[in-house]
Amino acid sequence: MPPRQDYRIDDAVFKQFPGYVRGVVLAQNVCNGASPEDLISILRSTENDLRNTLSLDTLIKNPPIASWRDAYRSFGSKPSKFRPSVEAMVRRILKGDSLPSINALVDIGNVISLRYLVPAGGHAIDEVKGDLTLRPAAGDETFNPFGSDTTEHPDPGEIIFTEGNIVLTRRWTWRQAMHTLTLPETTAIEFNVDGLPPVTQKHVRTACEELVKLVGQFCGGDIQTTILTHTNSSLTFTGAVL
C-alpha cells in the first residue's frame, strides 16, 4: 500500500481568521523545466495588466492586500518589514521591474498570484514524507530559508506551514524553505492558493481552476484540487497521488 499522508489546517487558524479559504492543487507526473515563450508572454502580459490597474500610492488600501497586512499584524509581524508574498511581488511590478522567469511551475504560480491578487505558493513534494499542516508556531520548529545556510526558529504564534516540525513557509506566505523548493526536475508539486476576506471561496476556486489549466497546458501531469475551509479542513493523499 502507498503511504498515506495527511494535510490539514489547524482549527486555531480558522478561529483567528474567520472566512479563510485555502485551495490546494496537487499535481504529479509533471514535466517541469524552463518556461516556453508562450508562458513567459502570459507572465509579461499579466504584469502589464497589473500596472494599468494598480498604483504604489494606493496599494496598501487594496482590499486583498490590506487583508494580508492586517493578518500579519495580528500575529506580531510588521507588514512593512515582512511583506506578504503577493504584496512584495506586486510592488516589484509597480516599480517597473519584471519578475524573473524561474521555471514553468514557479512562473505559473506567479501568474495566478498577480491575476487574482492571492498568494499561490508552490511546494515540491517529491521528497515530502510527513504530514503537512498550516498552524500557529510553537517556536521550537526549525526553518532553513531559501538562499541561506542558517537555521531559524519561527516566532511563537506566527502562522507556519510545516512538514512535522520542519517549517516549509514562515509567516503564512512570507518566505519558503529550501526543503520544498520547486526545481526544474520537480515531478510532484502542491500549490497553496490562499484567500482572506474579502476574497471569497468562489474567487479562490476560480484561481485554482486557471492554475490547473496552466499546469496542464505547460507541464502536463495528473492534477486534483481541494478547497479547504473551516467545515472541510483536511485531506489525505497517498503515494498514488504524489
Name residue 16's beta-bridge partners: none
CA angle 49, 53, 57 (to 5 degrees): 130
The percentage of residues in the chain with a pLDDT greater than 90, rounded to a whole number, is 90
How high is the pLDDT of residue 75?
Answer: 95
Rounded CA gap, 200 and 119, in Å? 14
Topology of 15-125+179-238 in CATH?
Phenylalanyl-tRNA Synthetase; Chain B, domain 3 (3.50.40)
How high is the pLDDT of residue 207?
Answer: 98
Rounded CA gap, 160 and 180, in Å? 14
How high is the pLDDT of residue 223?
Answer: 97
The structural domains of the chain, with segments of one domain joined by +, span 15-125+179-238
**For residue 170, is pLDDT > 70?**
yes
Element (H, E) at 11: helix 11-16
**179: pLDDT confidence band, cut at 50, 70 and 90?**
confident
**147: pLDDT confidence band, cut at 50, 70 and 90?**
confident
2-13: pLDDT as tens digits: 467 899 999 999
Q: Phi and psi (nearest 5°) for 124?
A: -70, 125
**146: pLDDT confidence band, cut at 50, 70 and 90?**
confident
* Cell numbers given for 5: 499522508
Rounded CA gap, 152 and 105, in Å? 27
210-221: pLDDT as tens digits: 999 999 999 999
Averaged confidence pLDDT in the chain:
94
Rounded CA gap, 224 and 209, in Å? 10
| pTM, to two decimals | 0.94
Rounded CA gap, 45 and 37, in Å? 12
Rounded CA gap, 65 and 90, in Å? 10
Looking up cell 506578504 gives 84
How high is the pLDDT of residue 241?
Answer: 42
